[in-house]
Structure 1
């Protein structure tokens, strides 16, 4: 199955699998970035906030 993107002169065909990989990659990058942000030093005003239960603790002393 292909997704057609109509242009002024030419129609481009993008495989649906390429779009699916891009969407899954974006979601994975956002999730991993969120975990990294939660495990980093807290910004001003967020030092006393609780860490969500789904975010794992990472030992940085190793």
Structure 2
């Protein structure tokens, strides 16, 4: 399970900063935040499952937990 306020590495070397939990609205992808490139620039705003997956299938954006 992810924690709001923590940062996590993705499989493709980016960093996900977990900023909010919308579990009361979305039970499949409850954790949202920005994904940052290695240079600190924003890549995308993303939502993740409780287990740290970006999509329901494997993705390079999945988190290393």
Same structural fold, with TM-score higher than 0.5 when normalized by the shorter chain: no
TM superposition score normalised by structure 1: 0.25
Larger radius of gyration: 1
Q: Which structure has greater helix proportion?
A: 1
TM superposition score normalised by structure 2: 0.24
Q: Which structure has greater strand proportion?
A: 2
Instruction: With a CA cutoff of 8 Å and minimum separation of 6, indicate the structure with the bigger relative contact order.
Output: 2
